[in-house]
């Protein structure tokens, strides 16, 4: 256990890869070669996919053995429970920077690990976006070949989806949430580390997709097209399966922590809104993501075992895939969006010095969005021909979901109204999010409407709409959350002077890019096209220039993150004078967060009210102190 | 960032830990329910759709329900034995739980072997290209595979329980741990019963061949 780290994980992963590859060849291919007749091409195809899946499985299992993920379960079966000393080692005690490269159970280490992997994924996905936009700068560009273009579009999509799903609940849900509720760790520390390392193990598989044939389907991986795609598609399906397992594990862990481990006195009405947002997100993912996983398992079986779930000639149906996919696909939007909005709701009272306006309305709005989000999936299938009679009900549920979303806007505006706003970078993220999300939200109402959707479905308008939602609202919210919690997580202040430049350059670039995209989409340009008509040239050129501007802004922002982390000004324990618990503990945060657990006697947003609490003293709580 | 300090681990009392772990396991089971639901939806949807009349192509023989119920029967028996053992443990009868855990382990392995045997016995002719003939056979094989996966996990969990019981790890205050395993046993047995009922009584498609894709 003590010798295992990322190096042993990679070594074991490579051994697992090679062993699985040869084993699969012996088991699956040798019997066929022994026959006299030449194997039919269909069978060769199945065998190729079978070997690919087995090889990827070998990598992940080997990697997880090498990082030490199976040590706990094996010791449990053998009845050799961890001693306190071993548990402290697993928690990363006295291991310096090495703890970030091990199967470390401390939630703060896992939070930082998630933050780094999220930034890496966003960087890769963003680079792919630059390549895509470069190709689309002129109507008949040959910068990328059509096959490469399709693969990069799909890769950009899935990388960004994975990154944005984990970008709040991973770093901040792990690092901040347990401290915020007055807990010493997560409910299941080993599952916590497991959820991270599962993602870390499968990222190389995902990134290998372009090198093993690519994927022509976009991130939705629609069947039966995916059934006919090269082996790269196996990499996609395998990634989703592992990611869904990781999400279920993380979801169970975070939800249990929030529900069962809140400190004494922290009733639901005294629980910070960020906790509600994170729980809503991971709680929604628990039932939603397994359907996506099932869709990919069936796709993998079609490709590797010879089932015919999506093959119409064998009794299958593409509609089956579409249903399973979108049963996850639409809730997934809210899995991404809700925690980002909740993070901004959390920081808005801090910078307006006012209580959160109508806390209960915010909770009702989040609950309403979660409830309705599982009843809207078929609006993605209006023109697929599936169940036309259900179009009306799905249009209704989709349009109704704008009501709780609108309620959240009211909470933001109500909190800011007549407040003495302290306009720091996190608060700027609130302004930017409100602007972007109004555009993203209203264009979503158009698309929920069947007649409008029939005209705009599959166009660049849709692409612009969901980027306004996922990037304009969720990613912007994450940038605000990062700056807000940066001092607590790194012990250093974020350099806002340069950071503001990066942030606003990216925001301007974002609006230029996607307003241009609305323009060409409204004029009829389809998405996922390699070349396009001359009539869309101006809009696309504008979008590409905007995308480069985003790239410049994001590079500046990333530089500021890295430079502030390494040599920023040392942060005090509560630089924002905030009232939630994470700001009441020392920075750096001790291993178990609290020596004595605090007792909560008031809500976390009591700004402007006389309070006996210690929030403004910049001191760690004394033993038994009430907060 | 974490600072290095002299620390000692705090331990919560067993009831608190038990309550927390029960909740967490229930959530993981919810995730598995969603996965099994997807497979059940797939079976019923494709059966109803009967695309191109290929749900059960002519000449295909449906799986014998007897084998399905043999597997499920072993699982029901295993659940009952394990649950009674867990109840005995709560009443302080450790030897009874120890025996029950080992018997349940044997039953889970028997069920797993029977499940694999059923999959080998499926008479679903693979076409010339190596593909399954029709979506009934695809669905049956997948459902059986999912049950085999459930049973493998169940056997590992029950092995751990039995071995730890042998080592005297369980007593009244820690009886919540076997109860967690009972939740899992209960869920996999329910899923086997639901799938068993579905694949016994909903076999032939009620629909004429459609051209749905």
At which residue do the structure tokens 């922590």 appear? A257
Residue B102 pLDDT > 90:
yes
User: Residue A393 has what pLDDT?
Assistant: 92
**Cα A561 to Cα A224, A321, A360, A482, B90, distances in angstroms:** 43, 40, 34, 9, 54
Contact A177, A281 (CB under 8 A): no
Residue of B nearest to A107 (CA): B2
**Cα A110 to Cα A335, A388, A489, B4, B130, distances in angstroms:** 20, 46, 11, 17, 45
- The residues pairing with B51 across neighbouring beta strands, listed in sequence order, are B210
pLDDT tens for A43-86 read 888 899 999 999 999 999 999 999 999 999 999 999 998 888 88
Window 160-189 of B, Cβ < 8 Å to A: 160, 163-164, 166-167, 169
Residue of A nearest to B153 (CA): A73
Which residue among B126, B142, B213 places its CB closest to the CB of A312?
B213
- Produce one character per residue of B142-167: b if its CB has 16 or more CB atoms within 10 Å, e if not: bbbbbbbebbeebbebbbbbbbbbee
Strand positions, DSSP E, A464-528 = none
User: Residue A78 has what pLDDT?
Assistant: 94
pLDDT band at B61 (very low <50, low <70, confident <90, very high): confident
pLDDT tens for B157-201 read 999 999 999 999 888 888 888 999 999 999 999 999 999 999 999
CA distance A5 to A2: 8
Residue B212 pLDDT > 60:
no
CA distance A235 to A553: 32
Cβ–Cβ below 8 Å for B212 and A317: yes
Q: Where are the domains of chain A?
A: 1-102, 103-567
Interface probe, candidates B4, B138, B155, chain A, greatest A C-beta count within 10 A? B138
- The dihedral sign for the CA sequence A259, A591, A571, A253: negative
Q: Compute the average pLDDT of residues B140-146.
A: 95
A138 or B53: which leads in pLDDT: A138
DSSP secondary structure letter of residue B53: T
Cβ–Cβ below 8 Å for A586 and B3: yes
| Cβ neighbours of A41 in B, within 8 Å | 129
User: Residue B210 has what pLDDT?
Assistant: 65
Quote the mean pLDDT of chain B: 89
Q: What is the DSSP string of A304-371?
A: HT---TT-GGGT--HHHHHHHHHHHHHHHHHHHHHHHHHHHHHHHHHHHTSPPTTHHHHHHHHHHHHH
User: Residue A616 has what pLDDT?
Assistant: 42
pLDDT band at B139 (very low <50, low <70, confident <90, very high): very high
Which residue among A252, A288, A314 places its CB closest to the CB of B28?
A252
Domains of chain B (ranges, CATH numbers): 62-123+151-191 (1.20.120.80)
DSSP secondary structure letter of residue A25: I
| Domain made up of A103-567: CATH architecture | Up-down Bundle (1.20)
Residue of B nearest to A596 (CA): B10
- The enclosing H or E element of A422 equals none
User: Residue A617 has what pLDDT?
Assistant: 43
Contact A92, B2 (CB under 8 A): yes
User: Residue B211 has what pLDDT?
Assistant: 57
- The dihedral sign for the CA sequence A604, A606, A611, A617: positive
- The residue ranges of chain A whose pLDDT is under 70 are 35-37, 609-627
């Amino acid at each position: 256990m003590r010798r295992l780290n990322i190096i042993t994980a990679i070594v074991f992963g490579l051994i697992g890869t090679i062993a699985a590859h040869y084993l699969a060849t012996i088991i699956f291919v040798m019997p066929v070669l022994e026959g006299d007749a030449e194997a039919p091409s269909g069978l060769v195809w199945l065998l190729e996919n079978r070997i690919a899946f087995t090889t990827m499985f070998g990598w992940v299992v080997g990697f997880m053995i090498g990082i030490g993920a199976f040590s706990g379960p094996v010791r449990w079966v053998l009845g050799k429970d961890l001693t306190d000393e071993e548990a402290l080692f697993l928690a990363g005690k006295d291991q310096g920077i090495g703890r970030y490269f091990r199967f470390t159970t401390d939630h703060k280490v896992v939070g930082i690990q998630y933050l780094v992997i999220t930034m890496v994924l966003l960087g890769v996905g963003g680079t792919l976006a630059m390549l895509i936009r470069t190709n689309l700068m002129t109507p008949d560009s040959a910068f990328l070949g059509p096959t490469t273009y399709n693969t990069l579009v799909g890769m950009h999509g899935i990388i960004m989806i994975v990154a944005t799903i984990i970008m709040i609940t991973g770093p901040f849900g792990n690092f901040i949430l347990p401290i915020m509720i007055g807990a010493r760790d997560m409910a299941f520390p080993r599952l916590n580390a497991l959820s991270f390392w599962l993602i870390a193990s499968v990222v190389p598989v995902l990134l290998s997709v372009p090198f093993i044939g690519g994927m022509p389907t976009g991130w939705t991986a629609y069947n039966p097209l995916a059934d006919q795609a090269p082996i790269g598609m196996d990499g996609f399906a395998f990634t989703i399966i592992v990611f869904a397992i990781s999400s279920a594990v993380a979801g169970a862990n975070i939800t249990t922590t929030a529900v069962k481990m809140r400190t004494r006195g922290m009733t639901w009405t005294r629980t910070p809104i960020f906790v509600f947002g994170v729980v809503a997100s991971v709680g929604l993912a628990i039932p939603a993501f397994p359907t996506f996983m099932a869709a990919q398992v069936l796709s993998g079986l079609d490709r590797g075992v010879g089932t015919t779930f999506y093959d119409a000639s064998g009794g299958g149906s593409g509609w089956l895939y579409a249903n399973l996919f979108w049963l996850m696909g639409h809730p997934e939007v809210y899995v991404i969006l809700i925690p980002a909005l909740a993070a901004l709701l959390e920081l808005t009272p801090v910078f307006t010095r006012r209580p959160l306006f109508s806390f209960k309305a915010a909770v009702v709005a989040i609950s309403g969005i979660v409830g309705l989000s599982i009843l809207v999936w078929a609006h993605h299938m209006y023109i697929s021909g599936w169940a036309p009679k259900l179009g009306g009900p799905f249009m209704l549920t989709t349009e109704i979901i704008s009501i709780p979303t609108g309620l959240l806007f009211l909470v933001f505006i109500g909190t800011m109204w007549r407040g003495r706003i302290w306009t720091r970078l996190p608060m700027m993220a609130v302004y930017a999010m409100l602007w972007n999300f109004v555009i993203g939200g209203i264009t979503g109402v158009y698309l929920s409407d069947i007649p409008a959707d029939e005209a705009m479905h599959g166009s660049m308008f849709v692409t612009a709409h969901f980027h306004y939602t996922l990037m304009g609202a969720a990613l912007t919210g994450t940038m605000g959350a990062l700056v807000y919690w940066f001092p607590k997580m790194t012990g250093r202040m974020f350099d806002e002077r340069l950071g503001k430049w990066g942030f606003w350059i990216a925001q301007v670039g974002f609006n230029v890019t996607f307003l241009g995209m609305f323009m060409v989409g409204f004029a009829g340009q389809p998405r996922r096209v390699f070349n396009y008509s001359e009539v869309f040239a101006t809009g696309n050129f504008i979008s590409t220039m905007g995308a480069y501007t985003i790239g410049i802004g994001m590079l500046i922002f990333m530089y500021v993150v890295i430079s502030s982390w390494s040599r920023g000004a040392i942060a005090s324990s509560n630089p924002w004078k905030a009232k939630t618990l994470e700001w009441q503990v020392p920075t750096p945060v001790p291993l178990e967060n609290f020596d004595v657990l605090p007792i909560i006697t008031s809500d976390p947003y009591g700004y402007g009210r006389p309070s006996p609490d210690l929030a403004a003293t910049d001191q760690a709580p004394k033993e038994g102190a009430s907060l | 960032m974490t600072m290095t300090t002299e620390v000692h681990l705090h331990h919560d009392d067993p009831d608190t830990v038990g309550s927390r772990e029960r909740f967490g396991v229930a959530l993981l089971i919810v995730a598995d329910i969603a996965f099994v639901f997807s497979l059940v939806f797939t079976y019923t949807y494709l059966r109803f759709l009967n695309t191109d009349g290929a749900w059960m192509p002519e000449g295909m023989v449906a799986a014998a329900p007897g084998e399905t119920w043999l597997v499920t029967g072993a699982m029901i028996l295993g659940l009952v034995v394990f649950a009674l053992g867990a109840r005995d443990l709560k009443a302080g009868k450790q030897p009874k739980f120890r025996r029950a855990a080992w018997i349940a382990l044997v039953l889970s392995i028997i069920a797993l072997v029977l499940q694999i045997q059923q999959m080998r016995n499926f008479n679903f002719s693979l076409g010339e290209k190596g593909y399954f003939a029709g979506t009934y056979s695809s669905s049956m094989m997948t459902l059986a595979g999912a049950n085999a996966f459930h049973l493998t996990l169940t056997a590992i969990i029950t092995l751990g329980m039995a071995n730890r019981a042998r080592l005297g790890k369980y007593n009244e205050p820690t009886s919540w741990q076997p109860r967690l395993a009972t939740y899992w046993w209960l869920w996999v047995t329910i899923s086997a019963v639901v799938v068993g009922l579905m694949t016994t009584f909903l076999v032939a498609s009620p629909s004429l061949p459609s051209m749905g894709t």
